[in-house]
Every structure is written in C-alpha cells, then in structure tokens.
Structure 1
Amino acid sequence: MSKQLTLGILAHVDAGKTTLSEAMLYTAGTIRKLGRVDNGDSFFDNYEVEKNRGITVFSKQARLNWNDSQITILDTPGHDDFSAEMERVLDVIDYALLVVSGVDGPQSHTETVWRLLRTRKIPTFVFINKMDLAIADRHEQISRIKGRLGEGFVDFSVGNNDEDFIDGVTFYSPELAEDFLNNLKLSEEGVRRAIRECQIFPCLFGSALHQDGVDKLLDVISTYTCGFDELRGGTSSDDKMGALVYKIARDQRDERISFIRVMQGVLHLKDNVAVRTESGELLHEKINQIRIYSGQKYTMVDSASPGDICAITGVNSSRAGGGIGALAEDETRNGIIEPYLSYIIIPEERVEQNKFVADMRVLEEEDPKLHISVEQGLRGVNIRLMGEVQQEILETQIMNRFGYRVRFEAGNIIYKETVIEAAEGIGHFEPLKHYAEVHLIIRPGERGSGIVTDSIIPEDVLSRNWQNLILSHLDERVFRGVLIGAPLTDVRITLAAGKAHEKHTEGGDFRQATYRAVRNGLLRGNCRILEPWFSFEIKLPSANIGMAMTDIGNASGSFSEPIIDGDMSTLKGKAPAVSLIDYQRKLTSYTGGRGHISCMLIGYDFCHNESEVIEESKYEQDKDETETGDSIFCYHGAGRTVKWDEVQDYMHLPFVLEEEKDSGLSEDSARAETMAAGRKLASDAELLAIFERTYGKISNGTLVKHKTKPKESEYRAMEQQKRSLHRLERIGKPDTHFVIDGYNLINADEHMKELSKADIGAARDHLINILANYRGYLGCKMTIVFDAYRVPYSFGRKYKVSDTEVVYTKENETADAYIAELTKEIGKRESITVVSSDALVQEMSLGHGALRISSREFLLDIETALQEIREFLDENR
C-alpha cells in the first residue's frame, strides 16, 4: 500500500515556487502541459487577480504519485502581505518544501517562513532553484542558507555513499553517527527519522523552469518521508471523525466551501458533523459534497479517510483554523502572524452600508486576519492589512466579486499595550440580588505570548466551576489598554481571589466583575505602548550608505556594521515598522533607483515615540464606554457605583499582591504551599516576627538572643538559625548577590530537566518560583540569567518576581557573556556568588572577584532551606 503525505511548498517572492509545483506535477505525469506564472496560464494561479499580478494569493492543492508515495501538494502564497494564508496551511501539512532562489539567496520572508516551520517543528526539505542562473556553487549556496537560517542543512543531491553526505548527516545526528560507526553504512530508516525529528534538512538543487533536478527532488521526498499513519502513530477508521479547517472559499457559483484535512476517523457524505461557531455555540451541519481538488478542477467522492485533503459543502459555520467533528471542541488556531496596519475602507455612495458590511464579512470568513469591525454612525468598516499589495488585491477582489469600487483611508500602525510591573485589579459587582468579587494580578509576560491566564485559588475557597467561568471570561474578548485604548497583550493574568454568594451569584455577575477587575488593574498599574518592529536589509550604492545609516538612527533603529562589496553595500538591522513602511520611496529617490529594502516583521516591542502616540490618540480613559474599572456595591438596597481609585476602600476581600510583597514569597511559591496544605500559611514576615518575639532580634546576620533561658523547642530553632548562617558563610556572605545561570541550573536537576523537554517555559517558571522563595528566605539579592542568544531578534528583557531579577539575554548575547559583564560591573561594590557548573562561567567569574558554587551544590542548599522552612512552619502553625 502506498504511503500518503501532504507537502506544503513555501518560498519568498520570485523564488519560483509555483513553477516548481507545476514542474513536479508535470514530471509525475499529473498534468500534460506546463503553464507559466508570467504568462498567466499557470495550473495553480487561476484567479484573475493572481493572473494579473503574477503572484500567488490563495493556497491551492493538487495530487501526484511518485514511486510508492501519494503526495498532496499545497502551494502557498510567497508575498509577505499574504503570510497569514500561508501560515494556516502549516496546520495540515506533514512536511514542508522550502524553495530558495539560487540567484538571490534566502530573503527576509524566508526567515519568516523558517521561524514558523521551526515553531511548529515541521520537517523540511529545501530546493535551491534557478541554479542555471546562479553564480554561487552548491557548497556556497548551503553556506548562505546556514548563515541566514542556522545549522542542519545537508546536500542530498550527491549519493548516500558520498563522503560529504555521510559527514553531513552524521554531524547533525548522533544516532546516525553511532549507527555508521557500528555498521559502516547508513540506513534509510535512520535518515528518515533524523529528518522527521528536524535534525537535518535535505537540500536539493536545480531549475524548475527547465525541469532540472525535479525528478531527483521527488526521489528524495518519496524515499525519506513517512506516511500520515506513521507520523500520527497510527489511525483507525473506528475513531470518531475529526478534521481541521485550513481555508474557507467560495466557488464560481458562490457556494461556501470549507477546505479540510481529515485527521482521524472517516468522513462520509451526508454525515452530520459538529461545528463550533464564532460565538461558541456547538451546531451540527450536514455534509452535502466532498470534493477532491486539483487546481481549479475537482472530483466528488463519497468519503474521505485520515490524511485526506478535501473540500466540503453544506457546513456554513466552520472557521479557518478551527475543527469539525471530534475536533470541534479544540481551540481555534490563530497563528503568529498578525496584520500591523489599520485602514478604513469605504464603498462608493450607491452601495448601502448593510450590504457592504455583509460583503466584508464574507471576505473575513476567508481571511479572519482582516478583523472587520464597524463603528456605529460611521460609513465603511475598519480593516487590518499587511501592506499595500494586499490593499490593491483586496480592492480588485471587491470589484470582481461584488461589482463596486472602494477607497482606503490612510493606514495607521496597530499599536498594543502591556504592563511593566505587577498590579492587582479589583472587580466588584453587587446590584440588588447579584454578587461577585474578583481580584486579578496582572504581570508582564514574554514578548509574543499574548494573554496567559491561571488561578491560584484553592477550590475550597471558590469552586472550580466559578474559577473556570472567570478564566473563560478572560479569554473571550480583547481588553483595551488605558493609554491609547490599544489591545492588551503580553501579560499573565492570575485569578488571585474571588468570592460568590450562595444565593445571589449568577454567571453574568462574574463576567462583570472580571471585566472590571482587568480594567481596574490596568488603571492602577504601569502600562506601556508596544509597536511593531521590522528587521531590515538595505542594499544600495556604497556612496549612499551614510544617508541610510543616518535615517535608521533618526528612526530609533539599530544596525550592524555595513557589508561593503565594491560599489554596493548592505546594511542590516531593526527599526520601528512605522519608520520603514514608506522608506522604499525615499531610498529609490536618493539612490537613483539602485537601492532596495526588504523587511520582516519580528514582533512587537516598546514604542519609540510613546508620548507622541499618546498625545495624537487623544484617548480619554474615563470616557471609554466599553471599558470601566469602576465597581458596583450594594448600598441601602440599591447598586452604587464606586470609582476605580476608591474600590479598595469598599472591597470585601483583602489585597493579595501586597501580602505577597510583604511576605517575600513569589506568587507561584505561595500557590504551591497553599495547594499542598489546603489552607493559608504564615508569610515570611510573620515567621520573622515569631522568631524575633521568641528568640530575639537578628542584626547583621547575628542572632541577638533574649536574656531568658530558652525552651527546648527554642534551642531547635536556634540550631536551625545557626545552620542557615553556616550555609550563607559557605556559599556567600549574608548580603551576597547570587547570579545564577538559569538553564545550567535546570539541567542540573533531573525533575526540571525532564520538565524542560516537554515545556521549557514551565521549567523556567518552576525554577524562578523556587529561587524567589529561596531569596525571600535568605533576604539576599538574586539575578537569574536565561540564555536567549539563539532566539532570532530577541531584544533582551528584564523583570522582577518578588524582588528576584529575571534576565533574558539579547540575540547573539550568551548567558556566559552577560554574567561576565554583570560580575565585572557590580563586583566592585557587592559580594557576588555565581551559580553555574559551566567551567567558562566559573573561570570568568573568578577573574572578576566573584565566589563560585556549582549548580548541584546550590540545589542541595535550596533543598536544605526548603526543609528548614517546612520544619519551622510545622512548629509554628
């Protein structure tokens, strides 16, 4: 039986991706005639806008058979403006084929695609195209790719007995190296596994236009890939049917089509399948047709099996990125790529507003990233786009499909807001016969993390049903910031306290309390504006390089040293998107048309001109009718509104964040103790008070005892204090500043090391919580450094968790280098102890006068401290 797999073909513009797709179909005998993108007769690009522009706008599919493999090809857009369409395809492919131009090499968009592929851990093949025009040889081509994308690329165009091939695959795969040493040959299964696990990325070469190297590419793909069943660990026709929707479209008769991949079970014609609507309602809709598309043509079938890519009609509530059947309950996949420009789009006068909104909703079904919104009383709609090309395509699309023209008002940057320190928000909702109070702690999150929610309330304090309801309210809407009303992002919201009434609380009460608590926390906290940032690459005459460097510097951007190659130079760096959107026009002007800039959106970071943006927005936080941080309390039998800055005087539950600050324990440490014990424990401040009332004051690390003779239990406590002081003397002075190599410490502990394999973020959080607790117990200073130098475009970040400083290094800055600089900087005025088992870190630290302790020894000290805390708590409950 032939194996079945789905291959997504991805590339930057003009790499020859669609030409390669057609060459593969032609070589396999699926089509008899080759079309040309340039001539507008391509097999794939059959939409009018695609023929006119010569680019792929919508993903397409086709099937081919090669050797024992049935391969479904998904051809995707290559232009930056249509990256969201490309990203949705990644949810349903087994392997990716990345096409790189041998003439131009990897581009900014190639990096975008690569980042998405690595995030999803999709095994990838690479085809270097246009080798008939390229100057660089194969070795140099792979070197260029490694320099831009990283390691793991191996030339598969040579035989598998070739010395370079063997060296390449064994260098990146220890398992293959061991296999070769034992057997003096490489097994196909071993190479397949290394590709599947993304250890190696096979590279092939050729010219799609001349069908050169295409048969070799198909041979390698069919030989070194696994089928859908093997990749998914086996599937059964007895499983309940579940499928993922990756695209919504309309056919020539305007019938709605959902393009899906069946992930489990069998889909039959006339089946009633579960579908989750945008509002969250679960419906059942009947399958009218199952279509297998190849280009624009299709055949109808009665069923689709696991792994099949097909299109269905009759389902009108499906959403791109969502599931149907058994996967209807799964969370909709929103993807990473988000538009960063906001426009107002207005139709010509003869078109009614209601009809225009309905038409735009149809387009939004096909591309959810458009984010259509309507402002009451204003004509037209708000829409989000990626750039000018998408705007032009959309304008043509509306004319062709709906028969009228539209105009776009100038695009504006989409800003976002976040917080830079923890704040507690209070929401109280208590009109007559209603009751709910919610306390939320809003903390800074990692860049690109969105909004992450959790709870630390024991179930015997607030039932799990109420907690789940509150958390669902945090996920169901977009919250707006208080500076310019921009969407809130990159925060962690913790449900810290909540209260319900046995008789009067209803579900809607907690919705009101939750919304008010979020706004209250933002008003009480410290917010900042985020803006989109680009990485850029400018190629221009060397005589003009000074102008480019000046412009980037004035735009608050940064750049590395220019690369000068004769009379042309290249400048690379990063800058705010708003500064680069129209820079090509200026570049063309002052270089006489010889300059070119390519940009890639790398995410959001702090706004470079925040005060100007706030002033221009004219946003009045107290007049935003959709957001309020005020609360409602019951007063003489009626609801009374209390302003956000007075709520703390009326709230029914105490502050949680202030207790944490007083105790010196991190919030997650407090949660761990609370969940373990099922009841509230004494804080560090309370324990210290007990200590001093019973045994005397602690001054400069020395216990000043009472004159009264201590009891036996007091002797034990004093011995414990001596052990603590002894430990501090051994690992550092009482006023020491611990500088900790975070990942080194994680790998030194078996539990955290195993946790990191499944979820590195959870392992980091676990370590931070333990160390914050430990720091609070000792009363010392502490900095935890996490190595982020391999994270592309990392800006570096610092924040505090219960007075423990957490640092993520910048791109190309290792933890070793950061620790060395830090110890050099503060070593003259503070006593430093560096925690790491890394010999280089220890050597550099010693050179700067710091004490050293290995990670394993430090973990033993932490365990001792935790045991002392537990003993002390047990004796003083």
Structure 2
Amino acid sequence: MVIGILAHVDAGKTTLSEALLYKSNTIRNLGNVDKKNSYMDTDEVEKERGITIYSGQARLNLSNKEVYLLDTPGHVDFSMEMERAMSVMDYAILLIDGTKKVQSHTYTLWNLLEIYKIPTIIFVNKMDRDIADSGEIFKNIKNELSENIIDFENILSGNIENETEESLASFDELLMEEYFEKNSISKESITAAIKRRSLYPVLFGSALKLTGIDNIFKIIDEYFVEENINDKQKLKVFKISRDDKGKRLTHLKVVSGVVNVKDIIDESDEKISEIRIYSGEKYESVSSVKSGAVCELLGLKNSKVGNVYEDGKIIEVVTPVMDAFLCYKLIPVTKVNTLESFSILNQLAEENPLLKPRMINGEIFINTMGDIYLEILKRILEDKYEIEVEFGKGNVVYKETIKGSAIGVGHFEPLRHYAEIQLLIKEGEKNSGIIVNSEIPPDELSINYQKNVISYLKDNECKGVLTGSELTDVSVTLVSGKAHLKHTMGGDFREATIRAYRQGLMMAENVLLEPYYSFGIKIPLDMLGKTLNNLEEIYGKVKSPVINENEAVIEGIAPVITFMEYRKNFMAYTKGLGKILTKFHGYLECHNADEVIENMGYQPDDENFPTGSIFCKNGAGYYVPYNEVYEKMHLPFYGSKKEDDFSDYVVVKKENNEISIGEDEIKKIISGVGGQNKNQKKNTETKRKHTISKEDVDVEIKNEPTKIYEKTEKKKKEKCLLVDGYNFIHARDDLKIYLDDLNAARWKLIDILDNYYGYTKEKIVLVFDAYNVDNKEETINKINNVEVVYTKKGQTADSYIERFSTKYKNKYDIMVVTNDNLEGLIASGNNAKVVKVQDFSEILKSYS
C-alpha cells in the first residue's frame, strides 16, 4: 500500500513524515528540518534550504500492513514532482496548517486528488499553537474543500452518536440506505465510503509534539484497504533518478503481479539487473517484489516517467495534469560546449520532464514553474557538471491549437519507398491535450502500419505552424492510409505522418494560446477604481467586485505575462495594504497573437517538421508544397464517396510548383535529417481555412491561386471477397487443429465466411488448391452464400486468384485474403486490396 503526504509549503509535512517513521519504530531518533537531519530529505540542497525538492520514500514497520510512505514537495515550483508521486498513491494524507487554514496551494492539491481519485484523510497540524481553533478550521475546510468531511476522532474511539451517523448517511446513497435499514452504519461501510471518496476523515494534532499520530495509524490499520492483486504483471513508472554513482534508477509501483530480477521490460528487451527498495537514502536489494510495493529498478535505459507496463510491454503513457508555463533562456557564464550542455539538460529532463529543453538558433531554452526551481537547477549544473549559468528574462510558454477541422495528407514516395495517410485534425475540448485514434478497418491498412502512425502521434510532440509551439487540445484521427507491398519500408509511415500532421495544420485555422492566472484581490475600498483600471490595462477579465464595509474583493483572470509585472506594481501602489492570490487558470487565446507571431518569426517549413510531401515521377522524388498536395494525393479524399478516385477531381486552375528532389536529399529524408525545400516560406499573416463536405472539396487559401475541384461520377462496383482457402486454414490456430481432417477444416472455414456474408452481403469466392488431386476440370459449388472453387489438376490457388483478379478487376471491388506475399503482389497489381489473414480475422471479430 502506498500512502502519500501532501501539503502547502511550511505546513509541517516533513515533520509529520518523521513522526510517522518514529512512532512506527522505523527510525530511532526524530529528524528535524532545521537541524538538516530529516530522514526523507537526503539531497544536500534540500538540507541547506530546508525544503523538500524531491519526493522521498520510506517503508513503515507496521505489524499487519506493508506501507510505503511518499513525502512530496510542498512548494508550487515543485508541483510536478508532487504530481508524479501522486500517480501511484493508494491513499493520501492532506496536511493543513491549523494556524493558516486552507491555503492557495491546498486547492490545487485537492483538485489533483479528485482527478487521480485518491481516497484522502485530512490531518490538521500545529494544533499546539494558541491561535489554532479546531471549530473554525473544521468550518473552513467544509466551506472550501468538501461538505463530506467528518471529525473522525469520536468514530475511532467508538463513541459514535446518532448525530454522527446521520451526518455519515447524508454523504452518499449507499450509506443512507444502510442507515434507514439498520439504523446504524458499519465499519466496513465507512471503510468502503472512504475508498470511493464519499467521505473524508478529519484528524487534529501536532506532528512536532507527536499528538494525533496514533489516530493516523488507527485509520491506516482499520480503515485503509490493502489490495494484493496477483494478476498479470503491471508496473507504473513515476520517477527517474540516479544514485550517487550515476546509475539510472526507475522508480515505480508494482500495481499487480510480481516483478523479478532478469525480467525483460519494454520492446527493446531491456533486462532488470537489480531491484532496490529504498527507505530514506538507504536501500535493500531484493530478487523480487509483489503488488503494492514501490521499488527502484536498475538496467532500464529507455523507461520514462508515466510509462505503464503490462507483462513488460508499454500499454499506456500517463500524461500529467500540470505543466510548466514559464520559459527562460540559459546563458552560460563559463565557456562550455552548447551541445554538451544541451545533452546534460536532456538527461536532467528524464528526471524532471517539465524542463523540455530545446535549442533555437544555437541558444538553449527551458521551461520551469518558478524562480526557486531556476536556483536549484543552477546549483545542480554547477555542483554536478561544473557548468555555471545564468538565466535570461522570463517569458511564458505559448501553445497552439486549431478551430474547426482540417484534413492533413502526407505522402512519402522517394524511389523504392511508399506511404500515404490522411489525418482528420479536429478542435478538441479545453485542456484535453492530444487525443489520437484510428478509424481505418484492418482490410484497408495493415494493423502494424496503423500502429506505426498511432505510436508516432502519441510519442512525439508536434509543433504548431504559427510559432513552432507545442500543439494542444486537438483530436487526431487516422482516417485513410495506403502502403505498397514491395516498396513500403520501416520509416515510410513515420515520414508520411509528420507531413500529414503539418499539412493539415497549414490548411486549418490556427490559434495561438497563452497561459492565464485566475486571481483574487483584496484592497481598501478607495483603491477600487485604480485597481480596476490597472486590470483592464493588463487585459484582465473581472467579475463584479464584492464590497465588504471598507474593503473590496475582485476576482478574475488575466494573462500570466502581463500579470507578472503587475504584481510588483500592485504591492507598490497599495503600500502593503492590498492582498493578491493567484493560481494557474489554463491556456486561452493569446491577447496579442499577431505581435507574438511576428516577434518569434517562426517559419513552418521546419527542417524536422516539413509541411509538404514527396512524390515520385520518372524514377525521381520531387517535393510538393503543402497547398498542392491535395491535387496529387493517391487515395480518395476523406469525406468523398469511397468508390471515388481522387483522379476524378479535375483541377480547373493551378500553378506548377514542383521541386525536384535529388538522391542525396532523399537519403537525408529517409534518415530523418532533412527532406524539404528550405526556401519555401509562409506569410505568417496568411489565414488558412479548410472546410470539408461529403459531396465536394472546398479549399480556400488567402493570397494564393484558387483551386476548384469538380467531381465526375463513377459507377459503383460490387464488392467481392477472394480467399485462398488452405493458406487461411494454415494461418489460423483454431483451424489448424483440423488438419488431420481437411474436409472438417474446409467446412469450418465455409461456416465462418457464410457468417461474414450475413453482415456484409458481399460476393464471396473461396479457392482451394487441387494441385495434387486428380481433378480434370475446375469445379465451382455454391454452398450457402459462398462460392467454393476447387482448381483443376496442376493449377494452384495462386494462379486462379491471379486470373480472377485480372478478369474481373473492372467489375468487382476485389479484396484478397492471403499471407502469400507474391500472390498479394500480383493481386494488388490488378487494383485488388490485399489483407493478411490475421488482419482479416480482426475484421471477423467485429462481426461476431
């Protein structure tokens, strides 16, 4: 079981950790932050500054439960370290300073606990102080956090009054039903209600004086449920660090199953060389750990924060809720190699992903959540790597999104390469990030190729086309794709994906976003007018002020970049009489987008993120700009009828902007170095809009020649499924068991295809080899809804399928099911779709 401790800075969180460790006999002597000897804060900078920077862990010595305690940073600048630890918690203890009540960062913690669905108890600390009033604090928590809190001390002592049970019954329907039926509420029901976050126990005490600590242990013992799931192995990574010898540690929770030394993790076949269980700065090496444990693995080079593994394979990557919204330029003081510094920062970014180091025009930029983290980073670089740096003036981290939707087409066809895809890029919900999926059936594009596209979209950050900033709040759907049996190579779909993504953005209406604060301001009434004027000047949006006697309270939102300077002015003109409280609100449209875009001077024909595509003509690849890709694409345009060919769209007016690509540049493209004409420029004032209709294609590009597409009608062809019978039987485990009785295998396959016909009503032709059978003539029998063909003696199924697909290519829309590559190659040459048996089996599952 993993229990985390969370709090606003200086609420006494590390002191509570020390108290829990001491009272559980895990440590003999109490550590103290002021004396720099606390058990969990092991880093030198933590000891010097007296704050928690990194999440620390310890194992509590409890008689009947195995508990791993996570101590987390309380300062806002290190919130992402706290959130990473939160991702593996089973329960949380939220600490509140009894002398200060609910504070600004407490709201953030409470919201995250809700998002991660973590059962929580609240411990009100520093109750030994004279100014701490339990009644007032309880009322404050109830008003600010949740109605479903209850003073748990009477429940723990067994003195449950009717009034307490009535309060419990009001928290949710299950408790109410039990109370009405039995006139009481059992301990088991209270335990379940805590687990499902229907109630939050509140305890009072003093971590420094060790009061109230026993009640925390009582709740852990009696009301926290330990889940040992001995199912398949599932691991969740929440942290990457390095030990004092530089060895890479992967911190994770064993969600279920068991993990052992020598287990293979990830597709790269990395083996676990050692398993450690840390408690403070000490650790124990073990050969295996079971579900519920927090441990550190050595030997993994490619693990990342957020990775979720199931039986060694990545099944999910957890995206954090919080993100850094401030950006700073790193300025070297000592003479250092820029590339070496960049490499070091990328290594540090493994441990702290919010850094997101990037190099722009030879200069290094990093993200952060505040000035204190910059001081820590400066110290780390100096102490560990002997690199002395300063930081430039801070700016905000911009992001980009789109309005409406657009289709992105990416085509990659240098000589002897081929891939084409279409992506539907749509405006997403606020704070949704990037949502990726596919709606292509396996018979149109192999599952493996689809996985290549999806994994690239999920694993790689895409730049926007306005400023090169991170793209967010969009959904990206793979809607069409095409491969070539002979020429498609491993990296071709990666190249097509990059180009489709970027081309779609170029055709969309793009929006620049900036971070906003939400704020609360309390000022003397005579300063209200000036404050409202100032907020208007910094593009703030405010609610109607609330007047309380001689004070005014103003709530609203404002851009972070303007508010950063305003905070200093506010303190000056209010002469300390005003109070201001801020928290991160989210990303909204940029108030001065044109100015930012012009100043950043980003050109979307980015070397690593091209917007155009590569086509092939006369044995050579050539570059086609983004605004002409629609004309040359091979697949039907998404939204047109499936039987239409894009060649049916006639270009009435166009310009020739083809650019030949030489062999050297093709090699660069394939190796990921370059691959586009760097002189292609975009006017940043150009507004790109693409509207999609199911009956036509309408592309509007300002300041560029208008292209009008007219569509001719094409007669719809009947669909025909052509199956290589014995090839199918040998590829399916459930049919191979009948190989001793081929007649049974044939009938089983006929039954499968007849069921498919019931859903699709397609013509089905099933071909069986009679190569070694004494059949003088070819026979065709209609069995139920399947035409069963037995070839004549000396004829293979391959040759029959070749003959059929050639003869009927203009009559039928043919799909061939076979694992024979040569057979598939010949069939595709006759415009037939070719699908592997395994992929067709996936289609069959959708009909079963």
Same fold (TM over 0.5): yes
Is 1:318–1:324's contact at 8 Å kept on the other side of the alignment? no
Partner of 1:638: 620
Partner AA of 2:559 in structure 1: P
SS of equivalent to 2:208: helix
Distance 2:247 2:496 in 1: 43
1:158 match: secondary structure? helix
SS, match of residue 208 in structure 1: coil
Q: Which residue number corresponds to residue 282 of structure 1?
A: 268
Match of 2:414 in 1: 431
* Residue of structure 2 in register with 1:422 after alignment: 405
Counterpart Cα distance in 2 of 1:95 and 1:274: 30
Paired with 1:198 and 1:42, the residues of 2 have a C-alpha distance of: 32
* Equivalence for 1:484: 467
- The question of whether the paired residues in 2 share the 8 Å contact of 1:94 and 1:228 is answered with no
| Deviation (angstroms), 1:192 | 0.6
1:171 CA drift (Å): 0.6
Using the TM superposition, give the Cα deviation of residue 194 of structure 1 relative to its aligned residue in structure 2, in angstroms: 0.6
Structure 1 segment 590-629 matched on structure 2, within 5 A: 590-621=573-604, 623-629=605-611
Question: 1:272 maps to what in 2?
Answer: 262
1:109 and 1:664, CA in 2 relative to 1: closer, same or farther beyond 3 A? farther
Instruction: Report the CA distance between 1:95 and its aligned residue.
Output: 0.3
Check if 1:52 corresponds to 2:48: yes
Aligned to 2:507: 524
Task: Please name the residue that 1:218 is paired with.
Answer: 217
Distance 1:449 1:15, change over 3 A: same
In the alignment, what sits opposite 1:78? Answer: 74
State the Cα distance separating 1:637 from its structure 2 match.
3.0
Q: Distance in 2 between matches of 1:597 and 1:327?
A: 49
2:283 pairs with 298, 320, 325, which one? 298
1:50 alignment partner, SS class = helix
SS of the residue corresponding to residue 433 of structure 1 reads coil
Relative distance call for 1:273 and 1:555 in structure 2 (3 A) is farther
State the distance in 1 between where 2:104 and 2:616 align: 58
**Shift in CA distance, 249/436, structure 1 to aligned 2, threshold 3 Å:** closer
Provide the C-alpha distance between the structure 1 equivalents of 2:129 and 2:554, rounded to a whole number of angstroms. Answer: 25
1:128, CA displacement in angstroms? 1.8
CA 1:650–1:140 in structure 2 vs 1: closer, same or farther (change >3 Å)? same
Find the aligned partners of 1:96 and 1:444 in 2 and give their Cα distance: 36
Which residue of structure 1 lines up, in the alignment, with residue 828 of structure 2?
Answer: none
Would the aligned equivalents of 1:458 and 1:678 in 2 still touch at CA under 8 Å? Answer: no
Query: CA separation of 1:646/1:244 partners in 2, compared to 1, >3 Å: closer, same or farther?
Result: closer
**Aligned-pair distance for 1:14?**
1.8
Given the two structures, how large is their TM-score scaled by the length of structure 1? 0.69
Instruction: Specify the alignment match of 1:762 in structure 2.
Output: none
Equivalent residues in 2 for 1:517-596, closer than 5 Å:
517-562=500-545, 570-596=553-579
Aligned to 1:165: 164
- Cα 1:465/1:242, change in 2 over 3 Å: closer
CA contact (8 A) 2:406 2:692 kept: no
Amino acid at match of 1:365: E
Q: Residues 408, 275 of structure 1: CA spacing in aligned structure 2 closer, same or farther, 3 A cutoff?
A: farther
Structure 2 unpaired stretches of 5+: 642-690, 697-715, 720-848
Instruction: Give the C-alpha shift of residue 473 in structure 1.
Output: 3.0
Are 1:373 and 2:349 an aligned pair? Answer: no
Match in the other structure for 1:406: 389
Distance 1:648 1:257, change over 3 A: closer
Question: Take 2:555 and 2:588, find their aligned partners in 1: how far apart are those partners?
Answer: 18
**Structure 1 Cα separation of the partners of residues 346 and 22 of structure 2:** 38
Name the CA distance, whole Å, in 2 between partners of 1:310 and 1:650. 54
Match of residue 645 from structure 2: none
Written as runs of structure 1 = structure 2, the 5 A alignment for 1:189-200 is 189-200=188-199
- 2:242 aligned partner: 250
Q: Which moved more, 1:167-176 or 1:631-640?
A: 631-640
Q: Which amino acid aligns with 2:265?
A: V
In structure 2, the residue corresponding to 1:495 is in which secondary structure?
Answer: strand
Distance 1:256 1:632 in 2: 41
- Count of residues paired in the alignment: 648
Whether the 8 Å CA contact 2:639–2:695 is kept in 1: the answer is: no
Shift of 1:331: 2.5
CA distance in 1, matches of 2:130, 2:407: 60
Measure the CA separation in 1 of the matches of 2:575 and 2:532.
Answer: 17
Distance (Å, rounded) in 1 between the aligned partners of 2:446 and 2:33: 61
Letter in 2 for 1:409: G
Unaligned runs of 5+ in 1: 230-234, 666-676, 681-877
Show the counterpart of 2:792.
none
Q: 1:773 maps to what in 2?
A: none
What secondary structure is seen at the aligned counterpart in 2 of 1:172? coil
SS in 2 for 1:474: helix
1:104 aligns with 2:94: no
**Counterpart residue identity of residue 191, structure 2:** R
**Equivalent pair of 2:325/2:368 in contact (CA under 8 Å):** yes
Equivalent residue of 1:311, what SS?
strand
Larger C-alpha radius of gyration, 1 or 2? 2
- 1:474 — aligned with what? 457
Question: Between the two proteins, what is the percent identity of the paired residues?
Answer: 41
User: 2:522–2:552: 8 Å Cα contact kept in structure 1?
Assistant: yes
1:153 matched to 2:136? no
1:517 is matched by which residue type in structure 2?
A
The structure-2 alpha-carbon separation of the partners of 1:243 and 1:493, relative to structure 1 and needing over 3 Å to count, comes to: closer
Deviations 1:721-748 (A, max 9, x none): xxxxxxxxxxxxxxxxxxxxxxxxxxxx
Q: Which amino acid aligns with 2:71?
A: D
| 1:18 aligns to 2:14 (yes or no) | yes
1:149 and 1:545, CA in 2 relative to 1: closer, same or farther beyond 3 A? farther
More displaced stretch, 175-184 vs 158-167: 158-167
TM-fit CA distance, 1:317:
3.8
Alpha carbons 2:334, 2:388 under 8 Å: kept: no
8 Å CA contact retained: 2:191, 2:224 = yes
If each structure's helix is expressed as a fraction of its own residues, which one has the higher value?
1
Q: Distance in 2 between matches of 1:310 and 1:122?
A: 20
Taking a change above 3 Å as real, the CA distance of residues 361 and 507 of structure 1, as seen in their structure-2 partners, is closer
- Segment drifting more, 500-509 vs 83-92: 500-509
Q: What SS does the corresponding residue of 1:209 show, helix, strand or coil?
A: coil
CA distance in 2, matches of 1:156, 1:218: 13
Q: In the superposition, relative to structure 1, how do residues 465 and 283 fare at CA in structure 2: closer, same or farther (>3 Å)?
A: closer
Superposed CA deviations along residues 665-718 of structure 1, whole A, max 9, x for unmatched, are: 9xxxxxxxxxxx9999xxxxxxxxxxxxxxxxxxxxxxxxxxxxxxxxxxxxxx
Call closer, same or farther: CA 1:505–1:39 in 2, change over 3 Å.
Answer: same
Contact 1:34 1:42 in 2 (8 A): yes
